[in-house]
Chains A and B, each alone.
Chain A
């Protein structure tokens, strides 16, 4: 199944007046919105409130959603704005840019070989087997990103929205989404790498 098809189908049924889609729609989006908001605003209580307030706004104005295909970008736009209000921070606040050079790994010369100075990633658990310590490290790394990078990484990698949906939510071009996503991933990789080094996974 293509990502998001289920959400689009539920939205289509709700708009058509099929109230049996109400509960599955709430169940899916309450969960997704909570995770999104938790990593965006950082507080559990705030995240639960954002998820509920977003759903309320969604249902209040469902009749204005003309294209159910756009349900995900519509909902995440609402959630994103509510997260900002919680953080009492302007969406237009200047944001620090990260250059690619800052994210390059360093090398060391080992005889005739050039070796990467990074942790031993092969010894780390696979994504399916993430433990709570690793998950917390990851959450810290994501939260520490400047917003212009975190917002793209959250939508593209955590929520798995398309490049086009992400561009629409953030009002930027798809090229900007791609550039920022790459830097965001590299920055998270670097932060994890530093933590693993310190923790002795090297």
Chain B
């Protein structure tokens, strides 16, 4: 068989793939949700791919040292460490549910020299940026996956100091998920902690509370963690702004759903004491 038809076909395929890729890039730039190329190509299966891509970001966070579905089925169902880090706001020690140092046979023992075999995180200046492509792709594949936006925004603003990009990404998420209290909370946190824009942060966080009450309050097991986080952020914001009575009202609501009410009670007492203290006259 002559190789010319093969060459022409392969070059045509290469051009088509490159053009398709370019189309994706342009589409991303225009940020159009409807008529997405990925949606057209993959249909609803893209959501399954989105989960896989999100896990890929977690694997990158661990520099390739990551359990497969064969190593620990439970680990695949558990929360990713990217999400845990976002919620707890700090790095913590964890294991992957499998012991890599215990080899079942000589092939495993030999093979560990040829793959990442030590628990490491992406650390150092701006290293966390390497997880971003996969998070971006996960959002493209499944725009309704709220976690992708909140996690990405957290890493952008906390680790990479890219506050503007984090805000733009959260707004993109909000357009795809207008009722998400999680995205509103993350946006409010960004305004409060990075922009120091108290009025804007207050509006967004109060909207988050409203959305939470509308969606979760009537449920049998509502998402109390998110509710506490939103109220806690709101209370801290008011306290910093000097609106102690408002802060106190928010802490009372936290107290009602807190698993550790004693700590909240202590905070309430402190605020009450502050309120009762005589105001210093202006000099």
Q: Do A and B belong to a common assembly? A: no
Chain A residues proximal to chain B, CB less than 8 Å: none
